[in-house]
Structure 1
Amino acid sequence: MSPRMTNDTKTELLSQLALRIPDTRLITDATRTLAFGTDASFYRLIPEVVVQADTLDDIIFIITTCGEMRIPFTFRAAGTSLSGQAVSDSVLITLTDSWRQHEIIDNGERIRLQPGVIGADANRYLMPFQRKIGPDPASINSCKIGGIAANNASGMCCGTAQNTYKTVDSMKLVFHDGTVLDTADYRSISTFKESHKYLLEGIQSLCAEVSQNPELKQRIAHKYRLKNTTGYALNALIDFSDPLDVLTHLMVGSEGTLGFIAEITYNTVIEHPFKASALLVFNDIEAASNAVTALSNASVSSVEMMDGRALKSVAYNLGVPDFLPQLNLEHCALLVESRASEEDTLNAHCHEVMSILAEFSIPHQVAFTQHAPTIATLWGIRKGMFPAVGAVREAGTTVIIEDVAFPVERLAAGIRELQALFDDFGYREAIIFGHALEGNLHFVFTQGFESEEEVARYGKFMDAVAQLVAVKYGGSLKAEHGTGRNMAPYVELEWGADAYQLMRRIKALFDPNGLLNPGVIINDNPNAHITHLKPMPKADDIIDRCIECGFCEAVCPSRTLSLSPRQRIVIYRELSRLEREGNTSRHQEIQKAFDYLGVDTCAATGLCADRCPVGINTGDLIKQIRIDKYQRYEPIARWTADHFSAVTAVARVGLTANKVMQKSLGEKVMSKTVNGLRSLTKGRSPSWHKSFPTANRSNIESSSVAREKQVVYFPSCASRNMANEVGSHDGRTLTEVTMSLLERAGYQVIIPNALQDQCCGMPYDSKGMTNVAKSKSDQLQDVLWHASQRGKWPILMDTSPCGKLSKEQFEKEMDIFEPAGFITQYLLKELEVTPLDETVMLHITCSTKRMGLADTLLNAAQACAKEVIVPEHIECCGFAGDKGFFTPELNASALNPLKGQIPSGCTRGFSNSRTCEIGLTEHSGIPYRSILFLLEEATSQQPVPATSA
């Protein structure tokens, strides 16, 4: 823990930082410092200041400012680290989205990455070259390169041969005094050798000392025969002789305590196109461990071990093999995967593995398969174990996951003794799984920290684990999660006094004032691992299972504007705690901030649930909160639902007036007038911009000609009321285009009765008015049931959100399609499609993703245009029904990366949600239309025989 910053010091610091960093990137309020200060670990330190760095110059400025004032600081990437290495009670430095640049080098043999690049994105960039980065942590869809390198994170397949330490090519670094070193640039190296001669000489001295101490040198070599991230990378002192190489590799796994990794270039590894997996069950741990030893030199890429308790935790999950519930606690399974560049080679690998294991009794198995869905199910078993424990834990407890490494030849004995410790200390829910080829095991258990007795139990348990792993078995207390605060008190126990002194000298050499992430790796407090523990108070059944891992954050549209799902949960938990404790003033302060940061700016799209290990939809919590917040408006909402056609008629009048006023007044005057009114009404009236829609005045009627094929077309209230913006080159409305397209394909189009009264309920559902939403949904269900002749005919809803909500709410069995699904299942085979010779943008809506139709929409667009671009880092547009009108900053923030990704010559974009297309048009600078427009243009009319009515 850093010395408490005085008010005067904080004021002076903010004054200095404000010389370069704008106020919007200096966070000091109590609500956001708590939210931004939380990471995936079970530690809590609340920063005094959170500084968001946008450029390398920002980083240099922040570091030098803090250095001159002797103020400690900590770097944060995605905050998915588990050992407390990304929290601070002083200055927390985070990165804006500007740190996402990458460069492919040597045809994919290398890749240069900024620290803000998400690991999975790096692999996506390399996919065309059949390459990938070596590290493959389980959090790769969320964690960032800065954290991967700083923690030397590995994973299920990379082992020790392909981690960052082994695959780093070069780095760009910033040191404690703001000096920048690019180890790939000879001019930078030359300058650094002059300015930091003392540092390089100090490194050379450490290398010489180790070289002259055979016992220590041997111990270091011996320790790294296993996965090991405990302490600093002392193997750099024996693996390299050039001090620059040593320096580069010392930075790997240094957890932000030696400097800032501003850029890293990786030597990439092969991504084999052919993969096969098998699940093999053995009678006990001993047999499984012997099988691991037998496979140590086989052609396998990964061998994951799962003990009986781990298998039991997922035995009743959907889709698991039938034999899983029959297993007992003695059973142990291996998930084996092999990879190859050729299918014949892969088959040979699989045959080799099973031949090696022929002498073992394998009572249950899923044989090697290349079937992608089966492979996904098998790996889902393995990946589902951590969240399985989290999902069933007692409210108020946290989930702790540790990772140790035993010598492979003593794996079974180590597991048995570890299981005995679980029983001795009362952790009977604990499970073990891990990367067996490296002897790397994760164990997961639940722990409460609400009482001194519970804290003491955890402390004694960790003492026992440290003695077992580090002393008795000579293993690693941290194999891939980083030392952090959690294992800092045990570093010397594992390494010995002389090696620990080396680490202290490394820290002093790089960070003479001790300002970089103090308390991490090197910590003089023997109780650091049981200090500053994070409270996990019971708050709500929806979110009590949350482990604050941060996997949700990458897909949240409000994460750069206000709060992410994890941060909303953190604040909601704090509000619950304060309310129980009766701290009224503090509760009111945070509640006031949360109303906007947490509630008003949440899109409530549910994308977070798809990324959450335990499936938490934070949007459901926010909708629940909105029930109370908007309760006083429910009578008005009920009236609008009962008089829906009149309300929408008034809306069309307003949209018509918008068109007239825009043409007569001009955009500048119009904007000043309408947005001025919005200011006077304190945001209760909609914002205006030039992409605001005009009124849809087209008639929507059923087909007059009877045909054999029929479809019920339900135009959403958005599409039947909103036409294109003023100045649109296409004067047709979505309803006109859809009717034309369906009739061209040979359909008799059925329009539901009382169309103007119908709504799927989305406008009410998003505000938490579930009763009103349900009544509108039920009304629509009855109308569509009648129109479709009791589900005989398919139903097309022309916007994806309406389709999704209706599929979820309707109880009667009907085939409901949004545009992409209907195009793919019906229209592409019924129309002659000639792809347009142009590049188009495509926005895949969050509702499309949640329905599993992202590829369907992409395939539909690719059938209609020569090139389709799906922009990066836009998971949701943030328009969220009517929030694009009333909380426009959410839409602007979510779409901030869009405009810069539109290539020269691209003049159009497409999607499948009318409201989303309004915001997309405004923030891209090009018109966005429904995918049905694109298909209509790409198809030619075919003669369709008419039948008599």
Structure 2
Amino acid sequence: MQQGHQDFYNALREFIPETRLITDPLRTLAYGTDASFYRLIPQIVVRASDEEEIIKIVKLADRHNTPVTFRAAGTSLSGQAITDSVLVQLGDGWDNYKISDDGSTITLQPGVIGGNANKYLAPLNKKIGPDPASINTAKIGGIAANNASGMCCGTAQNSYRTLNSMRVVLADGSVLDTADPESIEHFRRSHSVLLDSLDCLSQQTRTNDDLRERIEHKYRLKNTTGYALNSLVDYEDPIDILQHLMIGSEGTLGFISNITYNTVDEHEHKATALIFFNTVRTTCEAVAILKKTPVSAVELMDRAGLRSIENKAGMPPFIKELPNDAAALLVETRAADAATLQQQVDAIAASISGLETTKPIEFSTDPAVNAQFWAIRKGLFPAVGAVRLTGTTVIIEDVAFPVEQLADAVHDLHQLFTKWNYSEALIFGHALEGNLHFVFTQSFDTQAEIDRYDGLMDEVCKLVVHKYNGSLKAEHGTGRNMAPYVEMEWGVDAYRLMWELKELLDPRGILNPGVILNKNSNVHLENLKSLPAADELVDKCIECGFCEPTCPSRALTLTPRQRIVLWREIARLEKSGEDPERLATLRKEYQYQGTDTCAACGLCSTTCPVGINTGDLTRSIRSRKNENHTKLAQWLAEHYGGLTSATRATFKIADVTHGVIGTKAMSAITNTARKVTGGLVQQWSPSMPKAAPKVKAYQPTPDETGPEVVYLPSCASRTMAPSRGEEDQTPLADKTLQLLRKAGFNVIIPEGLDNLCCGMPFQSKGMFEAADYKANETERFLLDCTDQGRIPVYSDTSPCSLRLQENMDAKIKLYDSIDFIDQFVLDRLVVTPTTDAVALHITCSATRMGQAEKIKRIIKACSSNVVIPDHITCCGFAGDKGFSTPELNASSLRTLKDQVKTCNTGYSTSRTCEIGLTHHSGIDYKSIVYLLDRCSQPKQVNDNSNPENSQISVQPL
């Protein structure tokens, strides 16, 4: 660390714990990465927990003349969230919000994820205006600081236009709250020189006709290049000017500690159409017409874009036959009621009826069809990422043209792609605003490739600015990427004005220097990120960060994106042979940060644009580490019945000991033993289960009626009973049998269960051969006891169900408990919901199997008061990680207790998850089967009315 930064670090230690000050080479590299194609490694990463700390950090930076950069989610694409100085991240404590009584405004702290803000507003049929593609990852701080917009937002509903008020920390550490008259008055007194200067600049701008007209023209389009000069002509009060300057300033003028948005309507009724045209010109003519109709979104996709997805499942076959100049528009319209929606659909269709379309125009109100249409549009970016060569990155550029010139602009861009040999480049975008994104792959490993990129971007900038007077950055922010071209786009006077604003609000240049304004004409070609081959499991990663909100270790150690960043660096160092000391350090630290604390839950794959499961990488790494244990793993797999018995005995001994010496002594003894053995002794907690009695086999008698089902209790269900102190001590296997019989099922419990396992315990440790051995053994067993798949199988534990479904013969109809209950059991019961407040945890495996809505439906049938905690995805127990690495479970569930304090009980679908949930919530968690059994009575079902009713009609999942 440089001396100046060392002094800064020492000063930070006086008010921030060292646990939130990161300087080690592994985490500074990992945490310093954003979604752009630039790489800078910070000297210090600070996890700030509140505004008071931000104020102190900014004042300290001013005193030490040390640059600081603020970071929210790091999904920005233009290099605005990286630094080689001090990176200030949002830690816990930045996700509060408040909605006005009528829903017209929402006040948000900068750590709130945009999609969550919309979730909070959904019951009021409201949403925030900005709707970037990254909304389920991007945080409000970044959305406002970049003036992010999106598909339906346009220019009327972005952060600038929907800003109500904000609270901002300036470069001198002062705070202005524009919602507080007292704060405003105090600021007017303390910062009169600043406000007078803003007023003077505003007056000069409004009276400079050329400059004012230039500004007005630029903001008729989408535009995030440079500072929000429109604030100088849109507003006269310097307070209004100041707060609107903060929008899109990318953290270079101040820190937004909260923001209040005017919300916009989120109409329930929607209709969507995918309209194909034979030429781009006709497509763009349609856009100009549609701009005058009641459309909510019009998304353009060129032929290259359509070609990239035409072979995907569910795509209409005729897409392959479209001519080379074809294009498509995804059109959506929304309304408050069905009648109005139909009127709008009719008006939209009529408006372009005179244009030739490849197929007749058909709008759909089916949510599933609409979702498919949007999946096509949203799949364009990852489609390029999925086919790129290893070592290249995916670049998405973002320009805007006057709508009336859109067809010519698309043609000219295609010509440039050909000239510079970007054959894979495709175009899509928010056509209503003339906003086009073009996506291409790029390598930066040779000077020739850098020169090719430079040549393309230079010509694109000249095309956009000089020929079309458009915007170089419509919604992705200026960053480092477009900083050298700001003067080209805006002209000398406007550029000089931007520098005056920067120097006025940040006179020492400590806030994110080099971003937006930069006198280095080559900054966009420096510090380029390399993406070397690391492992084919993750080489397609584009480091976008969409995976991060789902990861249970995100607040403890690393996220999936960060694990991949580090593994790439390790692979690069191994290949190059350079800096063996750094390589050794990274390898050693990665063991805990990357491998030991990864839950390998796979939730990252559900939000990754290219479907990467970073857990697969973790298991692969564990496999290499455990190569010497292959024989032991195989022996355990072959003697699993004995292992099951030993596990049951261990739980029994632990429970008896607990009963004799009490909770306090048991905790003290096991904690001491864990410390002495360096973690070899597993973590114990009062929520530890008792030993379950052995599950008895059962074959129905010939006179028993009802649909047949084979019940497959998991090894967790067979060994773990409820914990000491739980009110209902019935083991899950018995409770499940009771529920299924109540619903009229003829339940078969096969002989030989104790030796069965889905293979998950072995797979999670990278012991793949043993895992497959157990899965194959279970498959053969189930084929035999289900009469070769004739009888369906009920699996009672979600993680096991997922593992089995991924490795099972298609003849076997294996249902997880959620699917079976939702599809077959609920209709056979009379359910009387309780009014008790109950908590629900949706396991990671249930999420991956697409069961979230099903389990919500089940629990809401059982209770009228259901709490589903925010921000908790995977619980982090991860099979046995809750015993061996309990801090992962604790970190993942750190916000659980406060959220479920009104609940009596919690429910889930995995026994091991329920141990950790119980421990960290203060309430008992158990299988949802217990709740359904408690709330239900049998419905009279006549299974003899039709001989076919003796079997369930099943379909493969």
Distance in 2 of aligned mates of 1:112 and 1:439: 31
- 2:47 maps to what in 1? 52
Is 1:771 the counterpart of 2:792? The answer is no
Distance in 2 of aligned mates of 1:311 and 1:743: 52
Distance in 2 of aligned mates of 1:366 and 1:542: 41
- 2:634 maps to what in 1? 638
8 A Cα contact 1:698 1:736, kept in partner: no
Distance in 2 of aligned mates of 1:897 and 1:325: 50
Question: Displacement of 1:942 after TM fit?
Answer: 6.0
Q: Which moved more, 1:151-160 or 1:685-694?
A: 685-694
- 1:612 maps to what in 2? 608
Correspondence list, 1:606-755, <5 A: 606-697=602-693, 699-702=695-698, 705=701, 706-755=704-753
Distance in 2 of aligned mates of 1:816 and 1:598: 34
Is 1:133 the counterpart of 2:131? The answer is no
Q: Say if 1:944 and 1:420 are closer, same or farther in 2 by CA, change over 3 A.
A: closer
**Match of residue 547, structure 2, among 546, 552, 568:** 552
Distance in 1 of aligned mates of 2:731 and 2:124: 43
- 2:921 maps to what in 1? 924
Letter matched to residue 71 of structure 2: R
Letter matched to residue 501 of structure 1: R
Is 1:30 the counterpart of 2:25? The answer is yes
Distance in 2 of aligned mates of 1:945 and 1:141: 47
Q: Say if 1:286 and 1:704 are closer, same or farther in 2 by CA, change over 3 A.
A: closer
Give a deviation string over 1:593-650, Cα, whole Å, max 9, x none. 1111111111111111110111111111111111101222222211111111111111
Correspondence list, 1:414-429, <5 A: 414-429=409-424
Q: Say if 1:743 and 1:187 are closer, same or farther in 2 by CA, change over 3 A.
A: same
Distance in 1 of aligned mates of 2:234 and 2:319: 45
Letter matched to residue 863 of structure 2: A
Q: Say if 1:944 and 1:695 are closer, same or farther in 2 by CA, change over 3 A.
A: farther
**Match of residue 575, structure 2, among 580, 605, 612:** 580
- 1:852 maps to what in 2? 850
Question: Displacement of 1:662 after TM fit?
Answer: 0.9
8 A Cα contact 1:455 1:530, kept in partner: yes
Correspondence list, 1:23-102, <5 A: 23-102=18-97
8 A Cα contact 1:909 1:928, kept in partner: yes
Give a deviation string over 1:723-756, Cα, whole Å, max 9, x none. 1112222121111111111222222221122111
Give the number of aligned pairs.
942
Letter matched to residue 358 of structure 1: S
- 1:306 maps to what in 2? 301
Distance in 1 of aligned mates of 2:564 and 2:451: 27
Q: Which moved more, 1:857-866 or 1:695-704?
A: 695-704
Q: Which moved more, 1:114-123 or 1:689-698?
A: 689-698
Q: Say if 1:533 and 1:663 are closer, same or farther in 2 by CA, change over 3 A.
A: same
- 1:885 maps to what in 2? 883
Give a deviation string over 1:772-813, Cα, whole Å, max 9, x none. 111101111111111112112221111111111111101241
Correspondence list, 1:123-522, <5 A: 123-364=118-359, 367-522=362-517
8 A Cα contact 1:307 1:329, kept in partner: no
* TM-score relative to the length of structure 1: 0.98
Question: Displacement of 1:507 after TM fit?
Answer: 0.3
Letter matched to residue 838 of structure 1: D
Instruction: State the SS of the aligned residue for 2:353.
Output: helix
8 A Cα contact 2:828 2:941, kept in partner: no
Instruction: State the SS of the aligned residue for 2:352.
Output: helix
Is 1:602 the counterpart of 2:583? The answer is no
Give a deviation string over 1:15-54, Cα, whole Å, max 9, x none. 2111111111101000000000000000000000000011
8 A Cα contact 1:698 1:733, kept in partner: no
8 A Cα contact 2:278 2:323, kept in partner: no
Instruction: State the SS of the aligned residue for 1:369.
Output: coil
Instruction: State the SS of the aligned residue for 1:172.
Output: strand
- 1:914 maps to what in 2? 911
Q: Which runs of 4+ in 1 moved over 4 A?
A: 941-947
Question: Displacement of 1:92 after TM fit?
Answer: 0.2
8 A Cα contact 1:34 1:47, kept in partner: yes
Instruction: State the SS of the aligned residue for 1:817.
Output: strand
8 A Cα contact 1:257 1:516, kept in partner: yes
Distance in 1 of aligned mates of 2:75 and 2:943: 61
8 A Cα contact 1:711 1:795, kept in partner: yes
Q: Say if 1:516 and 1:593 are closer, same or farther in 2 by CA, change over 3 A.
A: same
Distance in 1 of aligned mates of 2:454 and 2:810: 56
Instruction: State the SS of the aligned residue for 1:338.
Output: strand
Instruction: State the SS of the aligned residue for 2:58.
Output: helix
- 1:103 maps to what in 2? 98
Question: Displacement of 1:941 after TM fit?
Answer: 4.8
Distance in 2 of aligned mates of 1:443 and 1:255: 22
**Match of residue 786, structure 1, among 749, 763, 784:** 784
Distance in 2 of aligned mates of 1:704 and 1:263: 64
8 A Cα contact 2:700 2:748, kept in partner: no
Percent sequence identity over matched residues? Answer: 52
Instruction: State the SS of the aligned residue for 1:610.
Output: helix
Distance in 2 of aligned mates of 1:259 and 1:273: 37
Question: Displacement of 1:700 after TM fit?
Answer: 2.5
Distance in 1 of aligned mates of 2:270 and 2:810: 42
Question: Displacement of 1:286 after TM fit?
Answer: 1.1
Question: Displacement of 1:708 after TM fit?
Answer: 3.4
What is the Cα-based RMSD across aligned positions, in Å?
1.4
Instruction: State the SS of the aligned residue for 1:666.
Output: helix
Distance in 2 of aligned mates of 1:40 and 1:868: 37
Distance in 1 of aligned mates of 2:85 and 2:6: 13
Question: Displacement of 1:945 after TM fit?
Answer: 9.3
8 A Cα contact 1:320 1:378, kept in partner: no
Question: Displacement of 1:766 after TM fit?
Answer: 0.8
Question: Displacement of 1:364 after TM fit?
Answer: 2.6
Letter matched to residue 289 of structure 2: A
8 A Cα contact 1:320 1:377, kept in partner: no
8 A Cα contact 2:278 2:322, kept in partner: no
Letter matched to residue 464 of structure 2: V
Distance in 1 of aligned mates of 2:820 and 2:13: 54
Q: Extract unaligned runs of 5+ from structure 2.
A: 945-949, 951-957
Question: Displacement of 1:829 after TM fit?
Answer: 1.4
8 A Cα contact 1:47 1:89, kept in partner: yes
Distance in 2 of aligned mates of 1:764 and 1:848: 20
- 2:947 maps to what in 1? none
Question: Displacement of 1:490 after TM fit?
Answer: 0.3
Distance in 1 of aligned mates of 2:740 and 2:711: 9
**Match of residue 13, structure 1, among 8, 17, 40:** 8
Distance in 2 of aligned mates of 1:266 and 1:435: 23
8 A Cα contact 1:286 1:412, kept in partner: yes
Give a deviation string over 1:354-382, Cα, whole Å, max 9, x none. 11111111013561111111111111111
8 A Cα contact 1:395 1:537, kept in partner: yes
